[in-house]
Structure 1
Amino acid sequence: MMVNRALCGEKSIWQRGYHDRAIRDEEDIRAVARYIVANPLRAGLVNDIGQYPLWDAKWL
């Protein structure tokens, strides 16, 4: 990984507890898109998902 080489392997670029998840099919994309779009609602940044300008992602 180029980042590790640039940092001489001394620093972590990911926060503790980070894990990734592979998106393998259309169902996974839809679920992940819904989760991401709902983040502002869960965080209390909007009261209604329609207030979030990117709520209409094609996978929803």
Structure 2
Amino acid sequence: VKKDHPFKIDACVVMPDHLHAVWTLPKRDNDFATRWMLIKAGFSRQIKKGERINASRKSKGERGIWQRRYWEHLIKNEKDYERHVDYIHYNPVKHGFVNNVIDWPYSTFHRYVDKGIYLHDWAGIELEESTGFGE
């Protein structure tokens, strides 16, 4: 997908039932939808079939892996960017999967630690539900 529709993954966390990402797209390109569609389709083709699929999804040729929608937000400024990246990296702690951010292996947090952006024991800040992030 990145070869045909370039973008940079600034931050990402993969959770058992969802994922979060901050991407940078090329200038004058805001086509998040195509990228997500292609990522979801490619992923779905790579896993074994067998999940239960409801009638609505069957009629549309969809599998039961992904929700149909995604939450898109254009970053307003540096503070907004930092808040979203922090939220992404703190998500495994927020959902109770680990006690420390560093313990979740499926996150760009480790890349940020390697670059000296975060300390390895960064705990993050639990953002209030009123921030409007995600679902």
Q: Specify which of 39, 50, 60 is matched with residue 91 of structure 2.
A: 39
Q: Deviations over 1:2-46 (max 9, x none)?
A: 66xxxxxx68x733xx43111121111100011000111012111
Unaligned stretches of 5+ residues in structure 1? 4-9
Alignment of 1:8-27 (within 5 A): 14-15=68-69, 18-27=70-79
**Structure in which a larger fraction of residues adopt helix:** 1
Q: Which has the higher strand share?
A: 2
Q: What is the number of equivalent residue pairs in this alignment?
A: 52
Query: Identity percentage over the alignment?
Result: 24
TM-score, normalised to structure 2, is 0.29
